[in-house]
Structure 1
């Protein structure tokens, strides 16, 4: 019996489409692959299809056979930074990926302060746009979407850094990548997965939260607001899980504002999220994050407690935190406009810790210990070897208390790289707090120019109502 021509054509098209090698969006022309690494390539084709992969930097041929579920994955070796190169994949069809660079790849994630871009009207982006073109910086901006289960692909494409791309790409991510590119002189690939208004729960695999009673209960306090997701794991499933096979150098994170109401459990949540990311990527990559800036939150002290939880999270391996108490002059705007200092400070962490470059100051002074000498308290700090300085006539936002736990405004002076604090109202001091409130903008700095992180020496219950 003769097969009708139309049916034959339809059948041929179906067979042809099923036979084609397919790749996830993150594996495409213009991408940046992590240099000097074992990099994964993966995709889909007909079960049993044999695929050959040729890399132009050494003409080496790799082969892989598609599994029964139509998926395939293999590993290639990348040399030192360079390019542009190409990768050719041949099976029943041929795909040639072109204009590929080898360099350093970083994920940029979080909520609105990470998402902010040229379209938000940022002056520091508008100023740089006329000269922004840089073929050695590439962006992969992942579209906002959610899913109940981990997905295998995202909506995004690799783009070269230029004035148009900066309209939609993370400003913090750009300034971070720009400094790395300038200092390391290698291509930089940046993956932007950010969404304003999101809590950390939505970026954490749901299994992490549902299997922990403390986190599960805290997640019930993250309520929908109509502008962003609130269910655990849904942004992770759709925006990050699909790219976890893509080898990266590390991650930067700017988030926390939407978790101030659950500050008491944020450290547990945040460090569990970091571990979940590293487990999914099968990499113990560095994770550098931003301490949230001063802002007039609705509930008293919740911002201070969230910042404290962030600082405590630095005890987690291979993490680092930058302080931002000095970058906002408006505590009624949760979005500080200064994004270049945030990006550069994060880059300094990476340059100093990840890339072991000398001369970059990146560690903010942190409270170390206190000693009581009669009616005075002497505060010492980590990372203040070059000394401290007070910007202005006197130290602001410093308070002292006795056993009655009543805090009074205090006076302070710098002496021998330590802070001496006292008040005529407190003859027998037991505790000191500095910049420990939602809106406090401190004026104590290292002589290297970095602000001292907010701190308290007590462990008393902090009122939030």
Structure 2
């Protein structure tokens, strides 16, 4: 019998030594089983949609220097190794639109990503008017739900999340569009995607990253705001609320940054209501945000199409008018586009207009025209102010994007105001001359400035022949 001696706590030193040797041997021989498995981000998963005809990125994590092999059912394959930090990423060509495909990603273990479609991928982002869906009992979502049998349309919705630092991973999974999944996805996004799918006849993938109430600052990288004194000051003026974040970068870090390696065709955006009180800096903030996203995606010409905020009875006068003006001015950034929805409001006391179908359709027609060259898909371009000329008591306004002339939907055209040197605005009467307007007011014998629907709640009565509302404008900067 082997004699045992015991330590003061009753444990045998020989036993401890044997356990230690056994553990070290297991680590040396069986440690292989402790190696990190190949892992994928959640956005690379079953039912995903890849951008057609592109170099798309595949990425994930593994052991440092681990060999990774990717094989696709369309004939492309690639090999490489993880870097010293255990990260890997490779680019692979995608074929023309179609599917379903499979993609095998192998290292020490293997992932088979199934039911992969190739088509068009768009990001849908913003605040509540982008988020609104059947979850909020939106009638159009509930009505459309039973009809939403679109197996080639897919959704990836990112849960509301914040982070102080940019993240590499987010939660979520791809879902096939069906009567069960459609009602909980963005209504604007769904109607946008459905129209693209109908017109292009290709699979469509929609990524949803939205959060009601959020200002644009939270969707902008913190550095962009902090390094711009005016933007930083405006961010400090935002009111805190219990239901959404307000600090720069928080949702960008957690909900946008993780998907920036994923190749997309473009972005649709509906936001601005939470920035009306800081409208003077919104143009700079918004265009900086767009540029930062393009930089992150490494797509300098990434299309970015947005919705102008709708009429609503805000507490402070003129704040929405100034925000809409800032949105219009943001169109100076290349590869952007805006749809006007001031005519799609049935309740000026509801900040969430219920007609989301026409919003989505206008965005889709804009994308089909500007991104895909389909100018006949449907109307989207609102008439806009081009120039004006003062002729005595009258002001002649030239309007752009009004082919065929302008039409009034009411007996009396409303929303126009004139002011003289006293800067006091008075209602003006208007007559139509093709794509030009003649404004005058008995109360303003010497006009110097003209405004149209420049208020929080004004709803236009002037439209293009294609049914698009004249965009609000002013010729002064008072």
The TM tier, using the shorter chain, reads over 0.9
Q: Deviations over 1:242-279 (max 9, x none)?
A: 00000000000000000001000000000000000000
In the TM superposition, what is the alpha-carbon distance from 1:358 to its structure 2 partner? 2.8
On the 8 A contact 2:400/2:435 being kept in 1, the answer is no
CA distance in 1, matches of 2:434, 2:115: 55
- Mapped to 2, the partners of 1:223 and 1:8 lie a distance apart of 60
Which residue of 52, 55, 76 corresponds with 1:38? 55
Q: Distance in 1 between matches of 2:115 and 2:403?
A: 46
1:446 aligns with 2:456: no
Q: Would the aligned equivalents of 1:254 and 1:290 in 2 still touch at CA under 8 Å?
A: yes
Would the alpha carbon gap of residues 398 and 231 (structure 1) be closer, same or farther in structure 2, given more than 3 Å must change? same
Corresponding residue to 2:447 among 420, 426, 429: 429
For residues 8 and 114 of structure 1, the distance between their equivalents in structure 2, rounded to whole angstroms, comes to 58
Equivalent residue for 2:183, pick from 132, 143, 167? 167
Q: Is the 8 A contact 2:38 2:62 kept in 1?
A: yes
- Partner SS, residue 267 of structure 1: helix
Which residue number corresponds to residue 343 of structure 2? 326
Aligned CA-pair RMSD = 1.7
TM-score, scaled relative to structure 2:
0.93
Q: Give the equivalent residue in structure 2 for 1:142.
A: 158
Q: How many residues align?
A: 459
Counterpart in 2 of 1:178? 194
Give runs of ≥4 in structure 1 deviating > 2 Å.
Answer: 1-19
User: SS of 1:19's equivalent?
Assistant: coil
Is 1:300 equivalent to 2:300 in the alignment? no
CA displacement at 1:329 relative to structure 2: 1.6
Other structure's SS at 1:399 match: strand
Other-structure match for 1:352: 369
Structure 2 contact 77–92 (Cα < 8 Å) conserved = no
1-structure distance, mates of 2:400, 2:461: 17
Q: Deviation of residue 3 (structure 1)?
A: 7.0
Choose which of 116, 131, 134 in structure 2 pairs with 1:118.
Answer: 134
Measure the CA separation in 2 of the matches of 1:39 and 1:402.
58
Q: Does 2:304 match 1:287?
A: yes
Contact 2:404 2:434 (8 Å CA) reproduced? no
- Where does 1:6-405 land on structure 2 (aligned, <5 Å)? 16=33, 18-58=35-75, 60-283=76-299, 284-359=301-376, 360-405=378-423
Alpha-carbon spacing, 1:375–1:156, altered in 2? closer, same or farther (3 Å): same
> Which protein is bigger by CA-based radius of gyration?
2
For 1:199 and 1:334, the matched residues in 2 are separated by 15
- Kept in 2: contact 1:19–1:93 (CA 8 A): no
Number of the residue aligned with 2:4? none
1:414 and 2:397 equivalent?
no
Shift of 1:12: 9.1
Give the gaps of 5 or more residues in structure 1: 461-465
Q: Structure 1 residue 216: deviation in Å? A: 0.7
Give the gaps of 5 or more residues in structure 2: 1-17
The verdict on how the C-alpha distance between 1:28 and 1:365 changes in structure 2, with shifts beyond 3 A counting, is same
Alignment correspondent of 1:455 = 473
Q: Is the 8 A contact 2:397 2:436 kept in 1?
A: yes
Secondary structure of the equivalent of 1:421?
strand
Secondary structure of 1:303 counterpart = helix
Tell me the secondary structure at the aligned position of residue 46 of structure 2: coil
Is the CA contact 2:403–2:465 (under 8 Å) kept in the aligned structure 1? no
Distance 1:133 1:10 in 2: 52
| Structure 1 residue 362 displacement after superposition | 2.1
Q: Secondary structure at the match of 1:128?
A: helix
Q: C-alpha deviations, 1:196-247, integer Å up to 9, x for none?
A: 0000000000000011111111100112100001110000000000000000
Please say which of residues 70-79 and 357-366 is displaced more in the overlay.
357-366
